[in-house]
């Protein structure tokens, strides 16, 4: 269906909820959603607990639509199914919340306000604005979030964002239509991959202070993904972003600083390491000229890399604004 064939009402809001092993919370989550939301789409992602069926049997909610996946596609795959359906129905703002009850649905109005006022194209919750709320967060989640935030800043180029894996998000329909949903990760890397893709299309991304609710929920995210899978995917996205941002879409001084800085630093480390090994094997001191060359090359390379990082971190979220 073409965009001009849809009836799009400004500021109509649709909520998308991926459901997998959330039967204990899903009914409460849906019934807590206020009247500012026009449509609720729950995607039962092959849930072994039949969260979707339970929801349909437990409540009578005219705004509710449940979509079923025969096989589990992952949280990202479920959200993308919900996004596609929301676009088909012509909704203006699409909110994504999880079905585990950790997100306060009464804050949806706060989350979508920057989009409604045309100050952002995509908003996401940030649990780290309120110090008291952070103290209630499990310590392992705080440490994990700090590591993931650091990696996401590098890979996405959105240096101003924090708490990247926060699943409480909202997006403008025009921004969503500019994304290639099929290229975004289907698993738990979905939120980080979204940020990477949003920066590539120069969308305006904004953090909104929103605290979480912690009870006895068990996360389906495994440590193996965080330690091995996530760093690999962040590295892939970082290399893609650098190539696209500094060599395909634009070419500036930073485009020269990075390869030159890496080359000089690599040369210095290689020559320095070789000279050090030779000195150990032969007991002959390394010539002063070689030491100076290694030091100057390394410092020059380091300075160029720092200059590139300074340029990268100061880039505006959307240079066209």
The pLDDT tens digits for 156-182 are 999 999 988 888 999 999 999 999 999
- What is the chain's alpha carbon radius of gyration, rounded to the nearest angstrom? 24
CATH number attached to the domain at 3-223: 3.90.550.10
Q: Which residue has the higher pLDDT, 319 or 35?
A: 35
Most confident stretch, 80-94, 124-138, 152-166: 80-94
Most confident stretch, 105-114, 137-146, 312-321: 105-114
Q: What would the mean pLDDT of 64-74 be, rounded to a whole number?
A: 94
- Walk across the sheet containing 93-96 and list its strands: 64-69, 39-45, 13-19, 93-96, 169-172, 122-126, 205-209
Got the DSSP string for 231-275? HHHHHHHHHHHHHIIIIIS---HHHHHHHHHHHHHHHHHHHHHHH
First to last CA, the chain: 31
Q: What would the mean pLDDT of 277-281 be, rounded to a whole number?
A: 88
Got the DSSP string for 289-317? HHHHHHHHHHHHHHHHHHHHHHHHHTS-S
Q: What would the mean pLDDT of 15-20 be, rounded to a whole number?
A: 96
Is the predicted pLDDT of residue 261 greater than 60, yes or no?
yes
17 strand-pairing partners = 42
Helices (H), 95-187: 108-116, 131-136, 139-156, 173-178
Is the predicted pLDDT of residue 321 greater than 50, yes or no?
no
pLDDT band at 320 (very low <50, low <70, confident <90, very high): very low
Q: Using the structure block, give the residue that is written with the tokens 């890496």.
A: 262
Per-residue model confidence (pLDDT) at position 35: 93
The helix (run of H) or strand (run of E) holding residue 208 is strand 205-209
Strand segments, DSSP code E, in 47-197 are 64-69, 93-96, 122-126, 169-172
Per-residue model confidence (pLDDT) at position 8: 56
How many C-beta atoms surround the C-beta of residue 199 within 10 A?
Answer: 23
Q: Using the structure block, give the residue that is written with the tokens 């045309």.
A: 118
Q: Which residue has the higher pLDDT, 320 or 316?
A: 316
Bridge-based pairing state of the strands 13-19 and 39-45: parallel
Is the predicted pLDDT of residue 34 greater than 60, yes or no?
yes
Angle between helices 288-313 and 253-282 (to 10 degrees): 150
Per-residue model confidence (pLDDT) at position 283: 81
């Amino acid at each position: 269906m073409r965009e001009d064939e849809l009836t799009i009402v400004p500021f109509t809001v649709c909520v998308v909820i991926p459901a997998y092993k959330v039967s204990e919370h899903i009914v409460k989550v849906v019934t807590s959603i206020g009247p500012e939301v026009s449509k609720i789409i729950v995607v039962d992602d092959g849930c072994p607990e039949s969260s979707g069926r339970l929801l349909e049997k437990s409540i009578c909610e005219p705004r509710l639509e449940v979509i079923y996946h025969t096989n589990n596609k992952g949280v990202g795959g479920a959200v993308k199914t919900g996004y596609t359906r929301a676009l088909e129905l012509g909704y203006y703002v699409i909110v994504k919340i999880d079905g585990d009850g950790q997100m306060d649905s009464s804050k949806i109005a706060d989350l979508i306000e920057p989009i409604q006022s045309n100050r952002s194209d995509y908003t996401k919750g940030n649990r780290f604005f309120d110090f008291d709320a952070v103290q209630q967060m499990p310590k392992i989640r705080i440490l994990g979030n700090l590591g993931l935030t650091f990696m996401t800043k590098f890979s996405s180029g959105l240096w101003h964002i924090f708490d990247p894996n926060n699943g409480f998000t909202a997006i403008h329909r025009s921004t969503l239509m500019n994304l290639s949903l099929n290229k975004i990760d289907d698993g738990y890397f979905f939120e980080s991959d979204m940020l990477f893709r949003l920066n590539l299309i120069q969308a305006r991304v904004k953090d909104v202070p929103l605290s979480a609710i912690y009870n006895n929920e068990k996360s389906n995210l495994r440590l193996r993904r965080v330690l091995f899978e996530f760093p690999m995917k962040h590295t892939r996205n970082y290399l893609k972003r650098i190539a696209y941002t500094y060599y395909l879409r634009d070419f500036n001084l930073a485009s020269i600083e990075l390869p030159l800085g890496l080359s000089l630093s690599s040369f210095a480390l290689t020559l320095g390491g070789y000279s050090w090994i030779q000195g150990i094997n032969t007991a002959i001191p390394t010539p002063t000229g070689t030491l100076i060359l290694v030091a100057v090359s390394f410092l020059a390379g380091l300075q160029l890399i720092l200059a590139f990082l300074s340029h990268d971190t100061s880039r505006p979220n959307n240079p066209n604004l």
